[in-house]
Amino acid sequence: MADVLMVVTGADRITLTDGTAHPTGFWAEELVELHRGLTAAGHRVDIATPGGRRPAVDPGSLDDTTTEGAALREYLDSIDAALGTPLDLSGIGDGDYDAIVLPGGHGPMADLATDEHLGRLLVDAVDRNAVVGVLCHGPAGLLSAVRSDGAFALAGRHLAVFTDEEERIGGLGERTPYLVESRLRELGVDVQSGAPWSSTVVADGSLISGQNPQSSVATAERIVQELARR
């Protein structure tokens, strides 16, 4: 059994290029499928946020009037105690966990991308070859993984991320404050994309990444497979 740290955004708003505040948070399907897949495989999952704030679900990701939305809500309700009392990222030590996973939603763009404590934990995880799993906009959190000399810890690695094309046609569009795929490419990441809304997972050793919500189940499965190899 592995100890897994699920780092979830604490942001419930993101400021768009026109200055408006757009409601956000974590994407329900992504958090649920990652959490479900990992715990079903017998792994222990702790949830952490910046400052230990209770994370908000992105309202665009959860429609309680649909069968799928009701099922997601039921699962979130079942882990409400953990969501309501998350760990504070600042209190987590290097090496405390076997894996770090980051679900998406636009929230990570607003806080995790610049969180120094997450950055420290990710650099440590990369250096000791611990499993790092990211999904959709979760890779925005990887932007924090900057070494003390200013070098990006994941330069040269291969991963999937919510693409610029997907952002333009089905995300925040031209009002997005930045494009995560483009930012990662600028830092030397080799982004490997599938078709928009396809289930696309990229495995680069201990770094496992999924492109979008449609990749949620497959990403969880691949992370579980990587943990089983250890």
Which is it for strands 13-15 and 207-210: parallel, antiparallel or unpaired?
unpaired
pLDDT score for 136: 98
Alpha-helical runs (H) found in 57-115: 67-78, 80-84, 107-110
Q: What CATH number did the domain enclosing 7 receive? A: 3.40.50.880
Note the pLDDT tens digit of each residue in 77-86.
999 999 999 9
Beta carbons within 10 angstroms of residue 87's beta carbon? 17
Q: Looking at residues 45-50, what average pLDDT do you find? A: 98
Q: Which residue(s) pair with 102 in the sheet?
A: 134
- Sort 150 into a burial class: Cβ within 10 Å, 0-12 / 13-18 / 19+: exposed
pLDDT score for 79: 98
Which is it for strands 3-7 and 13-15: parallel, antiparallel or unpaired?
unpaired
pLDDT score for 145: 98
pLDDT score for 180: 98
Note the pLDDT tens digit of each residue in 142-198.
999 999 999 999 999 999 999 999 999 999 999 999 999 999 999 999 999 999 999
What is the band of 2 on the pLDDT scale with cuts at 50, 70, 90?
very high
Average pLDDT, the chain: 98
Beta carbons within 10 angstroms of residue 213's beta carbon? 22
Q: Looking at residues 189-217, what average pLDDT do you find? A: 98
What is the band of 94 on the pLDDT scale with cuts at 50, 70, 90?
very high
CB 137 within 8 Å of CB 162: yes
Percent helix, percent strand, percent coil in the chain, to nearest 5: 45, 20, 40
Into how many domains does the chain fold? 1
Note the pLDDT tens digit of each residue in 105-142.
999 999 999 999 999 999 999 999 999 999 999 999 99
Task: Read off the amino acid at residue 31.
Answer: L
Nearest to 200 by CA among 192, 230, 58: 192
Q: Which helix (H) or strand (E) holds 36?
A: helix 28-40
Tell me the C-alpha distance between 120 and 100, whole Å.
Answer: 12
Q: Which are the contacts of 187, defined by CB distance < 8 A and separation ≥ 6?
A: 143, 152, 154, 155
Q: Which residue(s) pair with 210 in the sheet?
A: 135, 201
pLDDT score for 23: 98
Q: Which are the contacts of 90, defined by CB distance < 8 A and separation ≥ 6?
A: 50, 51, 117
Phi, psi of 73, rounded to the nearest 5 degrees:
-60, -40
Domain containing 125 equals: 3-228
What is the band of 49 on the pLDDT scale with cuts at 50, 70, 90?
very high
